[in-house]
Amino acid sequence: MMLSKEFKMVKEKSANFIIFGGSGDLAHRKLYPSLFRLYKAGYLKDHFAVIGTARRPWSDDYFRETIVASLKEYFTDDEKIMSEFAKHFFYQSHDVNDSAHYIALKNLAAKLNDQFEAENNRVYYMAIAPKFFGVVAEHINSEGLKTKDGYNRLVIEKPFGRDLDSACELNGNIAKAFPEDDIYRIDHYLGKEMIQDIPNIRANNPKFEEALNNKYVSNIQVTLAESLGVEDRGGYYETSGVLRDMIQNHIMQIVGAIASDDPAAKRAKDIHKNKTDLFASLKNLTPEQVDTNFVRGQYDIDESGTEKAYRQEDNVAEDSEIETYTAGKIEFDTERWDGVPFYVRSGKRMPNKASRIDIVFNDKVAELGINANTVVTLLIERTNNQSILINGVNYAESAQDFIKFPEEAEFTTGREAYASLIIDILSGNRVHFTLWDELRSTWKYIDSIRERWDSQKADFPNYMSGTMGPDASEMLLERDGNSWIWD
Ligand SMILES: NC(=O)c1ccc[n+]([C@@H]2O[C@H](COP(=O)([O-])OP(=O)(O)OC[C@H]3O[C@@H](n4cnc5c(N)ncnc54)[C@H](OP(=O)(O)O)[C@@H]3O)[C@@H](O)[C@H]2O)c1
């Protein structure tokens, strides 16, 4: 594996991870492979230990076997390296509601801290159902798991609530146990290389940045499209839908990266303030505006009848009103963006997987020497340096040269989102995590859409699998004289 510059520069860190839900899917598919990446890069070496905890009564040896087995799915390294890595892992059977188990966990953590000289640094990772986030945080505090000399950082997976009220309640419970500065709320899109590079790209391309406002931008489009359906996650999806699962968090954060003021800001505090201010300026929607500005859809069978409709999926109600597709027009009440529609969409069973930002300039942009109506596309899943397109052509081959990757942002392999976020957690860098103030604004906005939809019967299913979503999604833009760039 080639290592990115970041990985080469970092020094070994000391920490003890306690992973709640250590036997689960997220831990095995994302966390352990990411920790292994950091181990191979030398970022984690001798001074780290990982306690996996969950109810099932596994032994340390069995736990380690499951880790090596999951690593083999992603890496071709010698098994010896994987086994060496796995020696840092320990298992503690634990029910999150049982106070006595936290004492056992505390004792094990203290022992491992001494054994691995982890400098009393603790990372508590919630890879567990959201309903347990509050109870775990409270017990970590009340049962005295927190160390005095090192740091104690709490990592929370999504979803952070299911509406503003539940997010407030959850945040209240967590805040009783951890100060906001020690809370790391994961939105894994913020760990993606392209999203992290956007401030760099903006700050290093003055003409592009000069054009990023309502004088020169016609509209901005954010698309997160998946070709798969809900697969085996029907049960979860029935409690969520794409509005909560993708728009409230990932799409909003991507919009935040492209639309926040002052991309050159370096301090986490300033970057978060810019994003918080942006989200606070979201133009609220009346119920009637929800009807005109947002579209919901649910997939049907495909043309040949081989793919199931959403309502036929396992653990999905036959008359489910859960949306698998959403498109919408978001607007901000700021001097910079007033009048510029941000069209966003995300859906399942679309023709292809796509994650992209399309910035559509108007004709006035010619004043800046940029061709009228130019479209700049940022591909979020970077695979190489082809990830900025100008009118569909790689920026390096385009006749226009107002935008390119700054040198320090050149594409590097090995920077996987979760690994990158874990480095940030170990370094105490909260830039790529979401703050409570941001979530409060985005939930408030999403709630207004949800409330309107919940009060009206949906005409589902309304798009065929393998298509671009319901027709209303095209009309949403046509009404404004615009059209989707990725079509
Ligand atoms: N999987 C993903 O790709 C993904 C992506 C984004 C976010 N997330 C979030 O990550 C979290 C975990 O998801 P997951 O997919 O990994 O779920 P999962 O596979 O069902 O894992 C849940 C874990 O929680 C443990 N657990 C359940 N009840 C418990 C209890 N009462 N006490 C102690 N441990 C208990 C389970 O083990 P036992 O049954 O042995 O107790 C298991 O280890 C969720 O919040 C999810 O929303 C997951």
| Residue 418 counted as domain residue | no
Average pLDDT over residues 361-386: 91
Residues 353 and 462 in one domain: yes
pLDDT > 90 fraction of the chain, expressed in percent and rounded: 90
Residues 138 and 251 in one domain: no
**pLDDT one-digit tens code per residue, 294-304:** 999 999 999 99
Q: Tell me which residue range forms the domain holding 457.
A: 190-413+435-478
> At which of 142, 157, 172 does a domain end?
157
| Residue 164 counted as domain residue | no
H helix count then E strand count, the chain:
18, 16
What is the DSSP secondary structure assignment for residue 88, as one 8-state letter? T
Q: What is the pLDDT of residue 412?
A: 56
Which atom of ligand 1 approaches the CA of 30 most closely? Answer: 3
Which atom of ligand 1 approaches the CA of 56 most closely? Answer: 40
Which residues are annotated as part of the binding site for substrate?
A: 188, 192, 226, 245, 348, 353
Average pLDDT over residues 443-467: 97
Residues 237 and 310 in one domain: yes
Q: Does the annotation mark 250 as catalytic?
A: yes
Alpha-carbon distance of 12 to 239, in angstroms, equals 41
Which residues are annotated as part of the binding site?
A: 55, 95-96, 158, 188, 192, 226, 245, 348, 353
- Per-residue confidence at 2, pLDDT binned at 50, 70, 90? very low
> At which of 111, 133, 157 does a domain end?
157
Handedness of CA 169, 174, 177, 183 (dihedral sign): negative
Output the residue whose Cα is nearest ligand 1's atom 25: 21
| Residue 162 counted as domain residue | no
Residues 147 and 227 in one domain: no
SS3 (DSSP) at 434: strand
**pLDDT one-digit tens code per residue, 248-277:** 999 999 999 999 998 888 888 999 999 999
Query: Is the per-residue pLDDT at 176 higher than 80?
Result: yes
Q: Which long-range contacts does 450-454 make (Cβ < 8 Å, 24+ apart)?
A: 450/163, 450/243, 450/244, 451/287, 452/285, 452/287, 452/290, 452/291, 453/243, 453/290, 453/296, 453/323
| Residue 306 counted as domain residue | yes
Residues 345 and 470 in one domain: yes
Residues 152 and 213 in one domain: no
Ligand 1 mean position, distance from CA 152 (Å): 22
| Residue 485 counted as domain residue | no
Alpha-carbon distance of 97 to 14, in angstroms, equals 29
Ligand 1 mean position, distance from CA 24 (Å): 5
Output the residue whose Cα is nearest ligand 1's atom 39: 55
**pLDDT one-digit tens code per residue, 125-151:** 999 999 999 999 999 999 999 999 999
Residues 444 and 325 in one domain: yes
Query: Is the per-residue pLDDT at 408 higher than 50?
Result: yes
Which atom of ligand 1 approaches the CA of 23 most closely? Answer: 43
Residues 222 and 349 in one domain: yes
- Per-residue confidence at 384, pLDDT binned at 50, 70, 90? low
The answer for residues whose C-beta is within 8 angstroms of residue 192's C-beta and 6 or more apart is 380, 381, 382, 417
Q: Tokens in use for 121?
A: 């640094």
Residue 306: give its domain's CATH number. Answer: 3.30.360.10
Alpha-carbon distance of 303 to 296, in angstroms, equals 20
Average pLDDT, the chain: 94
Q: What is the pLDDT of residue 416?
A: 86
Catalytic residue (choose from 28, 101, 139, 250): 250
Q: What is the pLDDT of residue 381?
A: 87
Residues 343 and 462 in one domain: yes
Residues 194 and 335 in one domain: yes
Query: Is the per-residue pLDDT at 3 higher than 80?
Result: no
Q: What is the pLDDT of residue 140?
A: 96
Alpha-carbon distance of 272 to 22, in angstroms, equals 31
pLDDT > 70 fraction of the chain, expressed in percent and rounded: 95
| Residue 231 counted as domain residue | yes
Ligand 1 mean position, distance from CA 126 (Å): 8
- Per-residue confidence at 410, pLDDT binned at 50, 70, 90? low
Which residues are annotated as part of the binding site for NADP(+)?
A: 55, 95-96, 158
Q: What is the pLDDT of residue 389?
A: 95
Query: Is the per-residue pLDDT at 386 higher than 90?
Result: no
Average pLDDT over residues 444-453: 98
Ligand 1 mean position, distance from CA 105 (Å): 18
> At which of 157, 182, 213 does a domain end?
157
Residues 248 and 139 in one domain: no
Residue 72: give its domain's CATH number. Answer: 3.40.50.720
Given a contact cutoff of 8 angstroms between Cβ atoms, the answer to whether 253 and 227 are in contact is no
**pLDDT one-digit tens code per residue, 65-105:** 999 999 999 999 999 999 999 999 999 998 999 999 999 99
Output the residue whose Cα is nearest ligand 1's atom 4: 26
Mutate to test the pocket of ligand 1, among 62, 98, 128 (most ligand atoms within 8 A of CB): 128
Residues 205 and 147 in one domain: no
- Considering its fold, how many domains does the chain have in total? 2
* Cβ count near 478 (within 10 Å): 11
Q: Tally the residues of the chain.
A: 487
| Residue 483 counted as domain residue | no
Nearest to 332 by CA among 442, 187, 476: 442
Query: Is the per-residue pLDDT at 400 higher than 70?
Result: yes
The answer for residues whose C-beta is within 8 angstroms of residue 84's C-beta and 6 or more apart is none
Ligand 1 mean position, distance from CA 451 (Å): 28
Average pLDDT over residues 439-467: 97
Ligand 1 mean position, distance from CA 190 (Å): 21
- Per-residue confidence at 1, pLDDT binned at 50, 70, 90? very low
Tell me, letter by letter, the H, E, C secondary structure of 295-354. Answer: EEECEEEECCCCCCCHHHCCCCCCCCCCCCEEEEEECECCCCCCCCCEEEEEECCCCCCE
Q: What is the pLDDT of residue 224?
A: 98
Residue labelled with tokens 């086994």: 83
Which atom of ligand 1 approaches the CA of 22 most closely? Answer: 43
> Ligand 1 pocket: which residues have CB below 6 Å?
21-26, 54-56, 94-96, 127-130, 157-159
| Residue 261 counted as domain residue | yes
65: part of which helix (H) or strand (E)?
Answer: helix 60-72
Query: Is the per-residue pLDDT at 409 higher than 80?
Result: no
Which atom of ligand 1 approaches the CA of 52 most closely? Answer: 43
155 φ, ψ to 5°?
Answer: -110, 125
- Per-residue confidence at 36, pLDDT binned at 50, 70, 90? very high
Residue type, 210: E
